[in-house]
Amino acid sequence: MRPALLDPLFAPVTALDGVGPRLAALMANVAPGDVDGATMRIRDLLFVLPHTLIDRRERPGIAEAADGAVVTLTLRVDRHQPAPRGRGNVPYRVFAHDETGEIALTFFHAKGAWLERALPVGETVLVSGRMQWFNGRPSMVHPDHIVPAVEADALPPVEPVYPLTAGLSPKPLRKAVLQALERLPAMPEWLDAALLRARGLPGFAAALDTLHRPRAPDDLSPEGPAWRRLALDELLAGQLSLALVRARMRRLAGRALTGDGRLVAALRAALAYRLTGAQERATAEIAADLASPERMLRLLQGDVGSGKTVVALLAMARAAEAGAQAVVMAPTEILARQHHATIAPLAERAGLETVVLTGREKGRERAAVLAALASGAAHFAIGTHALFQDDVRFRDLGLIVVDEQHRFGVHQRLALSAKGRAPDMLVMTATPIPRTLVLSAFGDMDVSRLDEKPAGRRPVHTVTLPVERLEELVARIGRALDEGQKVYWICPLVEESAEVRVTSAEDRFAALQARFGAQVGLVHGRMAAREKDAAMAAFKAGDTRILVGTTVVEVGVDVPDATIIVIEHAERFGLAQLHQLRGRVGRGERPSSCVLLYKPPLGEVARRRLEVLRESDDGFRIAEEDLRLRGEGELLGTRQSGTPGFWIARLDAHGDLLEVARDDARLILARDPQLESARGEALRLLLYLFGRDAAIQLLRAG
């Protein structure tokens, strides 16, 4: 039911002159979004934006033209010098002059007849291209443009440069983009008029025209009005669709989960410490959400070791007071079992039963867990994806806690929600996410931040060390083992790779085992779950004292007496990941260290990453820096579900517009929840243009 007005833009690109299936397939490689040649639309071409431009306004004489500069020259053609017959490797030269000197225009594998027509002897022509000087003689190889002086207007003063792929040349792409622009229908304005004026932004069509037909270098700046206009459009489409999803989830009316406070008080009494101010604040925000008849959708952001689990447990106790069950969903079995080890004893002190369900529970053990959940005998369940399975039923599921949100897609959140009567949802993440990313990826949620460390968490001393000093480090580790300390040693790969020259976990395990014998354990993602758990258990119990592993130990693994973490090839990890890994130590009484072992020479970004880590242990500052260094696409992992894959907006340049878009989306839906007003109809066009059709289906579904 797409509006007919948009039909010209949603026709296949093969409807354009000169675009066949082969060219469409090549253009799909540079199009934003997820398209292939068969489904690429004219709309997709409009959003293939130039990344730079060639300025052809520089018009010196031949003698003043600098080597390597792109220049435009007004020349009189003197003579042609074709390549000798049978000498295909010798270029065809055309000699021309202006009042400052003579130049050779050089062409390889040229068609003489075409050159004679393009550069007739005795005529004046404009030639534009890159200048080269050899032994004091000027030349231009394969000029980009040759036009007769009488048609000087046909030469673009500035020329946009588009992203290309193997086999795709600039001219056919540019020709197709300009045809797409011609097909753009006149559309109603969907942005608020006062907002456009205040921000000095052009209309949608004018912005596209400026970017595809720039007249000055500033026209192509991401900070310029044209790019900012399209970025705001895209961000508004994203925020509007998130707000519609949220409204839909909330319309599945929630219920108030309130109780007498008895279980919450019992749990607080069972804790060996007082909550931080940030934990108290988050607990109060969550309690208010639970008490409301609307469904809770809240993101609990907390740095490594900020005490998210306890906040979640108090929320679960509140649900239990209201007679409902609660579930914690973890991305890995190691993490699920660790949550169970933390939560079950505390819950038991308050008289609450906790069960664990992962892929490992089989037969009678699994049947007993399922029976306890169905009957309501189990108040809390902690598990992995196994919780989604059809035979898992709850007597009354009231609260879902999702750990490490970015490992689960929206569909998995919805699948678990379907097992209860519109249960409340609390999503936890230890990846400190910059505010801009929270708004873009989790705009459908309220946010609580735990920005204080619990009492007793000690700062971790962080040092960088080149790999040449490895022997020195191993000797230092030996002394630490003699003092009874425990060590993590993290490697980027499981096993040796022909492509990547870095030490693997298996190689490092073998080398350390040769030195320290049975004190060394190994854990990585390719091991069976039981083997991983056994390796972790041996390390926790002290049977092994060095645990060599991959980033499997990154999130949530808790060994309070581990005091040293070595991260080998630290230059290969992202900042947020390094910070997460560092959080494995510093959990006990003793001072802790993190050694970032790197292979010189370091690139600029890698050097800055290691510097930031040495300077700061504030996860939120580190996340902001990571966003700056890497861009939003990678921050939450490579294109995982839930990460914002923007076509035009760049959060480093347009982060300020995200708040504007979010506020506007909320205001729009408060006034016009079905998008039925004149502006609402225009906004439906916007949603289609930016591929948010699913949001319109939600409107229809009511």
What pLDDT, in 10s, does the model give residues 208-233? 999 999 988 889 889 999 999 999 99
Q: Is there a single domain that holds both residue 136 and residue 275?
A: no
pLDDT of residue 635: 36
Residue that terminates a domain, selected from 601, 635, 669: 635
> What is the pTM for the complete model shown?
0.60
Q: Is there a single domain that holds both residue 331 and residue 415?
A: yes
- Indicate the range of 211-225, 342-356, 547-561, 661-675 predicted with least confidence: 547-561
Residue 35 has pLDDT above 70, yes or no: no
- Indicate the range of 128-142, 553-567, 624-638 predicted with least confidence: 624-638
Q: Please report whether residue 217 resides in a domain.
A: no
Q: Is there a single domain that holds both residue 485 and residue 403?
A: no
Q: Please report whether residue 483 resides in a domain.
A: yes
- Indicate the range of 384-398, 409-423, 652-666 predicted with least confidence: 409-423
Residue 340 has pLDDT above 60, yes or no: yes
pLDDT of residue 143: 92
- Return the closest-CA partner of residue 439 out of 641, 655, 637, 691: 655
Q: Is there a single domain that holds both residue 507 and residue 624?
A: yes
Q: Is there a single domain that holds both residue 384 and residue 442?
A: yes
Amino acid at 275: L
Residue 399 has pLDDT above 50, yes or no: yes
Q: Is there a single domain that holds both residue 312 and residue 370?
A: yes
Task: Report the alpha-carbon distance of residue 341 to residue 336 in Å, rounded.
Answer: 9
pLDDT per residue as tens digits for the range 39-66: 889 999 999 999 888 888 888 999 999 9
Cα dist from 270 to 301, 450, 498, 653, whole Å = 24, 21, 53, 48
Residue 493 has pLDDT above 80, yes or no: no
Other Cβ atoms closer than 10 A to 61? 13
Q: Going by C-beta distance under 8 Å and a sequence separation of 6 or more, which residues neighbour residue 381?
A: 325, 326, 327, 328, 354, 355, 356, 357, 369, 373, 387, 394
For residue 399, what are the β-bridge partners? 326, 424
Average pLDDT (10-18) is 93
pLDDT-derived band of residue 253, with 50, 70 and 90 as boundaries?
A: low
Q: Is there a single domain that holds both residue 101 and residue 137?
A: yes
400 versus 446: the higher-pLDDT residue is 400
Which residue pairs, CB below 8 angstroms and at least 24 apart, start in 510-518?
512/474, 512/546, 512/548, 515/474, 515/478, 516/478, 516/481, 516/545, 516/546, 518/544
Q: Please report whether residue 506 resides in a domain.
A: yes
Residue that terminates a domain, selected from 635, 654, 681: 635
pLDDT of residue 224: 93
Residue 459 has pLDDT above 70, yes or no: yes
Task: Report the alpha-carbon distance of residue 632 to residue 637 in Å, rounded.
Answer: 9
Strand 92-98 with 70-81, pairing:
antiparallel
Q: What is the CATH number of the domain that holds 303?
A: 3.40.50.300
pLDDT per residue as tens digits for the range 661-674: 988 998 998 999 88
* Percent of the chain residues topping a pLDDT of 70: 87
Average pLDDT (402-417) is 62
- Indicate the range of 14-18, 59-63, 335-339 predicted with least confidence: 335-339
pLDDT of residue 376: 94
Q: Please report whether residue 43 resides in a domain.
A: no
Mean pLDDT of the chain: 85
Q: What is the CATH number of the domain that holds 124?
A: 2.40.50.140
Q: Is there a single domain that holds both residue 400 and residue 474?
A: no
CB 3 within 8 A of CB 685: yes
Q: Is there a single domain that holds both residue 270 and residue 150?
A: no
Task: Report the alpha-carbon distance of residue 666 to residue 649 in Å, rounded.
Answer: 20
Which DSSP category does 84 fall into?
P
Residue 10 has pLDDT above 90, yes or no: yes
Cis peptide bond N-terminal to 50, omega within 30: no
pLDDT of residue 499: 46
Q: What angle do CA 585, 589, 593 make, to 5 degrees?
A: 35
- Indicate the range of 85-89, 187-191, 291-295 predicted with least confidence: 85-89
224 versus 584: the higher-pLDDT residue is 224
Average pLDDT (238-265) is 81
Is the torsion defined by CA of 492, 495, 496, 500 positive or negative?
A: negative
Helix (H) or strand (E) holding 427: strand 424-429
pLDDT-derived band of residue 609, with 50, 70 and 90 as boundaries?
A: confident
Domain that holds residue 58: 54-161
Task: Report the alpha-carbon distance of residue 404 to residue 541 in Å, rounded.
Answer: 26
Name the domain count of the chain: 3
pLDDT-derived band of residue 416, with 50, 70 and 90 as boundaries?
A: low
Q: Is there a single domain that holds both residue 417 and residue 482?
A: no
Task: Report the alpha-carbon distance of residue 636 to residue 627 in Å, rounded.
Answer: 10
128 versus 249: the higher-pLDDT residue is 128
Residue carrying the six token digits 């921050």? 635
pLDDT of residue 698: 60
